[in-house]
Amino acid sequence: MQLGQSTPESPGRRPPSRLKRRVQQAAFGVAMLVAGAIAIVELAVTLKALPSAARDANETSARLLGTYLSASLEHRVGEILRLADSSLVWTALSDSRERDVYLKPFLEERNQALSNSRLALLDYRGRFVAGDESLLAANGARVKNMIDGVIVSGVPVTRLIVVPSGRLWVAVPIDFPYTPDVIGVLLGVIDLQAMVDESLATDLLDQRVVIGDGDTRLVLRGSDESEVYAAASARVQHSAVAQLYDLELEVHSVTNPWRRGLAVRAALFTAVSITLAVFVWWIAGIFARPVSRRLERLAEVILANPNCGPEDIPADPSGDEIGVLGEALREALLARQLALRKLEKLAYFDELTGLMNRVRFEDRLTEALQRAQRAGTQVALLFIDLDRFKAINDTLGHKAGDALLREVARRISERVRSSDAVSRRGGDEFTLLIESFQDQKGVAQLAEDLIVCVSEPYRLDSGATLVVGASVGIAFYPTDAKTGGTLLQCADTAMYAAKKSGSGNYRIYTPGLGKTIRDRLDLETRLRRAVSEERLEILFQPQVRLADGCVLGVEALCRWYDPELGEIAPAVFIPIAEEVGLIHQIGFWLLRQACREVATWDRPESGLFLAVNVSTRQLTADFTDFIGEMSRTCDRAGLRLELELSELALMHAQPEAVAELDALNDLGVSMVIDNFGSRYLSLYSMKRVTFSKLKIDLSLVANLAVGDQEAFMVATLINLCHELGLEVIAQGVETDVQHDILRDLGCDMAQGYLLGSPVDSESMRERLRAGAGQRLWPQAPTAMA
């Protein structure tokens, strides 16, 4: 393609105008201007005087035109004076509410009816009220001075002001009969030039008309720069009030058409002018061609290839302005290239780790699946998620978390092949794409190596040493999925299953995993709906004093019955609630509802306590404030509130949770260790929080009648608790043998199906009303026991 030709990418683009031609055009214009100036001088020398006939004609024209202007101006000025003195104007102007109603339409109608005249009404401060507002903008200083003078003196004034066309300005004060001051000014403008144009006869078309008022002269017709061959003048005055305006009208002859040889001189001068212009055109082209050609080369490169690079700009070592322009253009194109590369990197690569981002990885995955489909090969996708990363972010901050992510990305990249694609999908999730491998066992071995590699300790610049694990999910094309989105979903499902089985594991996707995850997600969705619609239930189980069988308290138990799935055990839905953050909402609802229902019971004993299970994840400042409110509510109703925390939860309680437990103790809320004996809670750990009771786990109670060893362990535990000042509750009491042994061992209280199964609020109210000292015999055991 030759330079200068239009390209398909730029259809219809006009070629650049040549600098040479523009310089020639400018030179030709200058030459013609010079020739015109010479022509004017020539005519001035040639035309010396007008004949007497022209002078007589000027006098006649001046007289006739002066008479016409005098009559016309007197009539129009008179209209302005009468309008200023009309009651409509001064009445409406004095009342601001009537200005818009009467004055504006009235003056707009007058301005439309008047030819060659415009009106504007101002108030006593010179502010526009109605009419033509543009009059105030023309020659503003002189007009304002004239208006201010009229307001002060109260005398009408006329003045010629030089504007693009000859105009006579009339300012008339508006008086109000009930005040001596001027209340406004009616400003009128008469276009003298338009009046002259309308009145000129054909014999005045080649003459100049000038009107003057002292030092002000307005050229109403012709040019003020032409030489005058003959002149005549006439006075233009108001017949009744001469001092209102006194203008002098002049008519000038500026041409001499009777001069012999004028046509010959004009023809000769025209020929000389054309020759001079052509010569100047040629000379300008010679001097402008080198500069024009250098600029054209730059323009042609850009037009021929809009996406040109810095290497396409022609070298110009001259060092002048054009050379500097080319160098600046080259640097600008280089900066654009760098900016485009940076944008591409931001669009397709993760800024923190330098790996592919999810957009670029999904494109790469689609391309890999297309290649595998054509070749009939497999593709492996690994979904990697870090374990315990959130704890690092929460404790050491996001800066440490970012450093850790960069190091993880480096380790993964070094462990895989250069042909494998690694990306960071976001947060602590990474994906790995493997296109060519021998068998699935090799991919599984790679997953194990990556887990080991990622799990090695990290030493940050701050000196901290961190350890994280990794869970890996693996999916294969075309075995598990046919599309990239589905393959990612399968790998994510496998990763989720690996994380559920414990830190540092990998799982290969199977169809059963998908069903398990879907069931889990379905259960989570149902639980969210049940919580939001408050479809959970509260059952109450009595806690009985073994010495006399009196009911001392009840434990509020949360139950969930789904219309389709049936009754779902707390051991199933409570961990889900803790994981997805619903435990806080459930805890608030359970406590509020339980306190509300128990407070309405008719109790034969006073001081009945209400026990509620809580999770350490619920222990926040908001929850502590809420417990304080509920505790005060219970106190007013004669209740005592107890919070039960499981042994396992206390073992893993964070310092923040322990601090909230101390705050709850300060509020007078009793604490109970629940399920003691199911784990390995040390006595030292029990010293972290002040407890009032200890509940023996049902696993110890169930084996009481089996042998003496279990009874000895329970007896030792009861004696130890009594030495520590703790009351002991045994849960899971279902037989008379268990009941009698616990009573003989000195256990304070018991809870179980022998003494009363969990029932709703109304049933528990009836049991308490029947008699607290009576034993509540067990019902048939259920799956919820």
Helix, strand, or coil (residue 115): coil
Give the mean pLDDT of the chain.
78
Burial class of 509 by CB neighbour count within 10 A (0 to 12, 13 to 18, 19+): buried
Give residue 751's pLDDT band: very low, low, confident or very high (50, 70, 90): very high
Is 493 a residue whose pLDDT tops 60? yes
Apex CA 295: angle with CA 292 and CA 296, to 5°? 80
Interatomic CA distance for residues 503 and 472, integer angstroms: 10
Range name among 82-86, 270-274, 516-520, 597-601 with the lowest pLDDT average: 516-520
Please check whether residue 401 is in contact with residue 392, taking contact to mean a CB–CB distance below 8 angstroms: yes
C-alpha distances (whole Å) from 441 to each of 391, 438, 447, 746 are 33, 8, 10, 61
* Top-ranked range on mean pLDDT: pick from 177-181, 457-461, 535-539: 535-539
Q: Is the pLDDT of residue 321 over 70?
A: no
Among the ranges given (335-344, 480-489, 574-583), the one the predictor scored with the smallest mean pLDDT: 335-344
Return the top range by mean pLDDT from 3-7, 284-288, 433-437: 433-437
Residue 197 has what pLDDT? 76
Residue 675 or 250, more confident: 250
Query: What pLDDT was estimated at residue 138?
Result: 63
pLDDT of 381 higher than 90 = yes
pLDDT at residue number 784: 33
Q: Is the pLDDT of residue 277 over 60?
A: yes
The answer for residues whose C-beta is within 8 angstroms of residue 114's C-beta and 6 or more apart is 76, 79
The answer to whether the beta carbons of residues 640 and 673 sit under 8 Å apart is no
Mind spelling out the 3-state secondary structure of 680-743? CCCHHHHCCCCCCEEEECHHHHHCCCCCHHHHHHHHHHHHHHHHCCCEEEEECCCCHHHHHHHH
pLDDT at 648: 65
pLDDT of the residue at 474: 93
Encoding tokens for residue 121? 């009404």
Residues 433 and 416: their CA atoms lie apart, in Å, by: 10
Residues 58-67 as b/e (b if ≥16 CB within 10 A, e otherwise) read beebbeebbe
At residue 53, the pLDDT reads 57
Distance CA 145, CA 764 (A): 99
Query: From the CB of residue 635, how many other CB atoms can be counted at a distance below 10 Å?
Result: 12
Asked if pLDDT for residue 501 goes beyond 70, the answer is: yes
More confident residue, 455 or 576: 455
Q: Please check whether residue 470 is in contact with residue 383, taking contact to mean a CB–CB distance below 8 angstroms.
A: no
- Answer whether residue 780 shows pLDDT above 70: no
How much is the average pLDDT of 237-260?
Answer: 70
pLDDT value for 775: 45
Confidence at residue 316, expressed as pLDDT on a 0 to 100 scale: 67
Q: Report the C-alpha gap between 627 and 423 in whole angstroms.
A: 47
Alpha helices in 471-569 (DSSP H): 484-500, 511-532
Element (H, E) at 626: helix 621-636
* Distance between CA atoms of residues 635 and 595, nearest Å: 10
Asked if residue 276 lies in contact with residue 32, where contact means CB atoms within 8 angstroms, the answer is no
386 Rama sector, left if φ>0, alpha if ψ -120 to 50, beta otherwise: beta
Rounded CA-CA distance 380/447 in Å is: 11
Q: Cα–Cα distances in Å, from 192 out to 115, 188, 274?
A: 11, 12, 40
Backbone angles phi, psi at 125, to 5 degrees: -100, 5
At residue 371 the predicted structure's pLDDT band, cuts being 50, 70 and 90, is very high
Nearest-angstrom CA–CA distance, 109 and 135: 17
637 or 432, which is more confident? 432
Residue 472 has pLDDT above 90, yes or no: yes
Asked if pLDDT for residue 670 goes beyond 90, the answer is no
- With cut-offs at 50, 70 and 90, classify the pLDDT of residue 785: very low
Residue 649 has a pLDDT of 67
Q: pLDDT per residue over 131-182, tens digit each?
A: 888 887 766 778 888 888 888 888 888 888 766 556 788 888 888 777 788 8
Cα 152 from Cα 154, distance rounded (Å): 6
Count Cβ atoms within 10 A of the Cβ of residue 536 and give its class: 0-12 exposed, 13-18 middle, 19 or more buried: middle
| Minimum mean pLDDT range among 4-18, 376-390, 548-562, 674-688 | 4-18
- Runs of H (alpha helix) within 382-483: 389-396, 398-415, 440-455
**Residue 320 confidence (pLDDT) above 80:** no
41-98 residue pLDDT tens? 766 666 554 456 566 777 777 777 778 888 888 888 888 888 888 877 877 777 766 7
pLDDT value of residue 425: 86
pLDDT tens profile 404-414: 899 999 999 99
* Best mean pLDDT range from 385-394, 476-485, 581-590, 619-628: 476-485
pTM of the model: 0.46
- Burial degree of 209 (CB within 10 A; 0-12, 13-18, 19+): buried
Is it the case that residue 456 has pLDDT exceeding 60?
yes
